[in-house]
Structure 1
Amino acid sequence: MGMQFTLRESRALYGLLAETTSDIILKTNCEGFVVQASPALEQLGFPVPNMLIGPHLLDLVGHTHAGIVGDALAAAIEGGRVGRWVEFPAASADGTEHWFELQLRALTDAKGKVYGALGVMRCVDERRAMSDRLFAATYTDALTGLTNRQAFISMLEHMLDDGPDGCLALFSVDFFRAINMKYGQATGDGVLVVFADLLRELLRGEDMISRIGSERFAVLLPRTDPEHAEAICNRVVRTLGDLRQTVGESRMAITASASVARVAGTLDETLERAEMALFVAKAKGRNRLEREKA
């Protein structure tokens, strides 16, 4: 059996919800100015009890999303129906960014004429933070903090779809299995972290670095021809070979083999050409870079 309320009971229920929830319950006129709001609005810096003139709904919204919220308000007023939830960053008084979702529905009088909108704003910071953590867990290599193979494949596909204009480089730490066997896995992990940090330091800001396997790394170099890509990546190979890296309690010589190939054709073709050039680099003695054969 459904619950039915008198007008007085409905007002009491509204007051109870407005005063006890962290959601912001607000009422606007047809122009979008807030004419009534729950105390939770104070979290955005608006002193509800002292408001002589309420803010416009869009005053609560970061400028980048004003259009989205404005469209939602217009749809509610014009359509007289419950709108979909929309997400936006709130314009808080202290300058910190908090994300909210908002749903609006039209308010109508006894004759069915729309005289405003009723809205519920709900903070979604925690949910967005959880989504960010899940995204990071899905696309980030936990050891090095680089993007992982899944992210690399997506980025390479995007480069190919966007129009081939760049290069792919592959790096493989030489004799990594022997390092693990001689010094232990903790030292092997340290070698990978050292190499990841070197890649970050020596490559350009626009280059996309991923760990795609045990000791294997891939770099996408957008808008770069093979000659330039070879020069950039050779610098990594030479610098690593010239240094004795400190890993844990040991100082050891770490080297890497590398390859460069154009991003062209299909994903499999691009990877195959880069893999073949890397195989040649290892076959010629490692600690070197080979470019795909034209």
Structure 2
Amino acid sequence: MPAVAGRAVLRCLAVYEVLPMTHALPFEATVTETEPPVLPNADWIEHLPACVALLVGNTVRYANAAALRLLGAQQPGDVVGKSVQDFIHPLDLHRSLARLRHAEGGGVNPVTEIRVYTCGGEPLIVAMSSATLQLGDQTAVLASFLDMTERAAMEQQLRQTDEDFQRMMNTMQDVFYRTDAQGITRYVCPAVKNVLGYSAEEIIGLPAAAFYPDLSERDALVAEIKKHGSVHDFPGRMRRKDGVIIDISISTRALRDEQGQYAGVEGIWRDISERKALERRLEHLATFDSLTGIHNRRSVLAILEQLLQRGAPFSVLLLDLDHFKQVNDGYGHAAGDEVLSGFARIISREKRSRDFFGRLGGEEFLLILDGADEAEALQIAERLRLAVSAQALDLPGDASLALTVSIGLTQRRPDDRRTADVLVRADQALYRAKAAGRNRVCG
């Protein structure tokens, strides 16, 4: 308010002090000849959106229209002439009266929030400031205030929401995180301590990439998010504080700024190391023979089928341990298992690295010689046969057993379409090796 206008208003209110107590201000401002005629009357106070009240002692002597509306007054007399104690919450009364006394002493009270009641008893929260106003020989207080009830309710909701968020973050087992556009971690929930061994404070401010053992995995994640906007159960790995690498699953989305530009990511990742370990165990059980550790029947036949479909050249060896039933009958099944395992170790050691070795069942094995023609396959088969017969296997009870193996050989033919086409020929060749006296190779 301009200084000249302010003095005019104060004179208007000073005149009002000696008038009968009413709501309106029906007076003209007294303006000296040296002052320009600014604000010819005080009616403009009634049009202020802010609430204004004049207090003498503890009594309300004037309240403008905004104040009356806020306090729910049906008529000015519902407020004017009443004590401030009729409107102020008991818990805020002592503080409010102290501020009035301070203002009466010439001080200016900064804005503060107090709880008040309307004429109908409804609670409100107002932001009030006040200052001294001299009315003749009396000191009054001019107060202005705004309704802050909705803002206070909103702040309470925000506080409750924040408390709920923090409580959720503190109890989560998965890790919620947020990074900026440069990949710097801006938030991570406390659960990260249980997963990575770092506290949230140790991680915030560091690049998220710092915890990836392979940066290309992080780059692939960011590229996928930028491309699609989000990812779900994206696989990855992270390095714990103790150096252990863990498997994680990430579900996250891109953040955008006001211009729609990429501003970072937020989402959840979880430790799935146990799940991955179980999947690997199940995959191993589904692929490898539990006794010998080589490919099982389903797996080695699937490899044979793939080579057939590709049209790749290969040969196969069908191997069968000689007189294996006598081992089981004479030494027991535990000894038989040891013989099968020992035989598998010999072949695995002697075969070429690119070949595929599997157990079809019992004492029968299949070796797929990738890219080998019949002559090379025969040479390999003879070497394997000699390696088996040259090594005696130790059995329980300080016993040992010399083994021999019969081998049936065949090469892939152009008209082979099914695995059975190859296996039938190999089985026929194996039968000939057995019929010829065992411990030999037949094609």
Partner of 1:102: 250
Mapped to 1, the partners of 2:422 and 2:366 lie a distance apart of 12
How many angstroms does 1:41 deviate by? 3.9
CA shift, 1:259, in A, is 1.8
The residue number in structure 1 matching 2:408 is 259
Sort the Cα spacing of 1:75 and 1:104 in 2 relative to 1 into closer, same or farther, 3 A. farther
| Residue pair 1:58, 1:69 contacting (<8 A) in 2 also | no
Task: Decide whether aligned partners of structure 1 residues 182 and 290 sit closer, same or farther in structure 2, where only a CA change above 3 A counts.
Answer: same
Q: Which amino acid aligns with 1:255?
A: T
- Closer, same or farther: CA 96–254 of 1 in aligned 2, 3 Å: same
SS in 2 for 1:83: strand
Tell me the distance in 2 between the aligned counterparts of 1:6 and 1:106: 27
How much has 1:140 moved relative to structure 2?
1.8
Residue equivalent to 2:297: 149
Q: Is the 8 A contact 2:226 2:254 kept in 1?
A: no
TM-score (norm 1): 0.84
Question: What does the per-residue CA deviation read over 1:74-126, in whole Å, with 9 as the maximum and x for residues that have no partner?
Answer: 146xx4xx532201122445543211111112446899887443211101100
Are residues 1:124 and 2:275 paired?
no
Per the alignment, residue 179 of structure 2 pairs with: 28
- 2:421 maps to a residue whose letter is E
CA gap 1:105/1:14 in 2 versus in 1, 3 angstroms: farther
Distance 2:405 2:365 in 1: 10
Which position in structure 1 is the counterpart of 2:363? 215
Asked whether the 8 Å contact 1:60–1:92 carries over to 2, the reply is yes
Question: How far 1:147 sits from its partner (Å)?
Answer: 1.4
Q: TM-score, normalised by structure 2?
A: 0.58
TM-superposed deviation, 1:201 = 1.9
Does the CA-based 8 Å contact 2:185-2:203 persist in structure 1? no
C-alpha distance in structure 1 between counterparts of 2:256 and 2:222, whole Å: 19
Q: Decide which of 73, 84, 93 is 2:225's aligned counterpart.
A: 73
Aligned match of 1:9: 160
Asked if residue 161 in structure 1 is aligned to residue 313 in structure 2, the reply is no
* Distance change (3 Å), C-alpha of 1:151 and 1:110: same
- Cα separation, partners in 2 of 1:255 and 1:46, compared to 1, 3 Å: same
Which of residues 336, 348, 352 is equivalent to 1:200? 348
Opposite residue 282 of structure 1, the aligned amino acid is: K
**Structure with the larger RCO, 1 or 2 (CA within 8 Å, 6+ apart):** 1
Calculate percent identity across the aligned residue pairs.
27
> Structure 1 pair 163/91, CA: closer, same or farther in 2 (3 Å)?
farther
Gaps of 5+ in 2: 1-155
CA distance in 2, matches of 1:93, 1:22: 18
Equivalents in 2 of 1:52, 1:201: separation in Å?
51
**How has the CA–CA distance of structure 1 residues 74 and 46 changed in structure 2, closer, same or farther, with 3 Å as cutoff?**
farther
Partner of 1:19: 170
Equivalence for 1:90? 238
CA–CA distance in structure 1, aligned partners of residues 436 and 380 of structure 2: 20
Contact residue 58 and residue 70 of structure 1 kept, 8 A:
no
Residues 164-175 of structure 1 aligned to structure 2 (within 5 Å) = 164-175=312-323
2:430 maps to 1:278:
yes
Counterpart of 1:153 in 2: which secondary structure?
A: helix
What is the rounded CA distance, in whole Å, between the counterparts of 1:244 and 1:36 in structure 2? Answer: 64
Tell me the secondary structure at the aligned position of residue 147 of structure 1.
coil
Deviation at 1:204, TM superposition (A): 2.1
CA 1:221/1:239 → structure 2, altered by over 3 Å: closer, same or farther? same
How far has the Cα of 1:175 moved from its partner? 1.5
Shift of 1:127: 0.4
Question: Cα–Cα, structure 1 residues 289 and 110, in superposed 2: closer, same or farther, change >3 Å?
Answer: same
Preserved contact between residue 149 and residue 213 of structure 1 (Cα < 8 Å): yes
Aligned AA (1:277): A
Moved more, 147-156 or 223-232: 223-232
> Partners of 2:260 and 2:402 in 1: how far apart?
80
Aligned to 1:242: 390
Q: Distance in 1 between matches of 2:368 and 2:175?
A: 45
Residues 54/218 of structure 1: CA separation in 2 closer, same or farther (3 Å cut): same
Relative distance call for 1:87 and 1:50 in structure 2 (3 A) is: closer
Question: Deviation string for 1:183-214 (max 9, x for gaps)?
Answer: 22222222111211111221122222111110
Aligned-partner SS, 1:10: helix
* Counterpart secondary structure, 2:225: helix
d(CA) in 2 for partners of 1:260, 1:6 = 80
Task: From the CA coordinates, give the structure whose radius of gyration is larger.
Answer: 2
Q: Any idea what SS the aligned residue of 1:39 has? A: coil
Deviation at 1:262, TM superposition (A): 1.9
Contact 1:36 1:54 survives alignment (8 Å): no
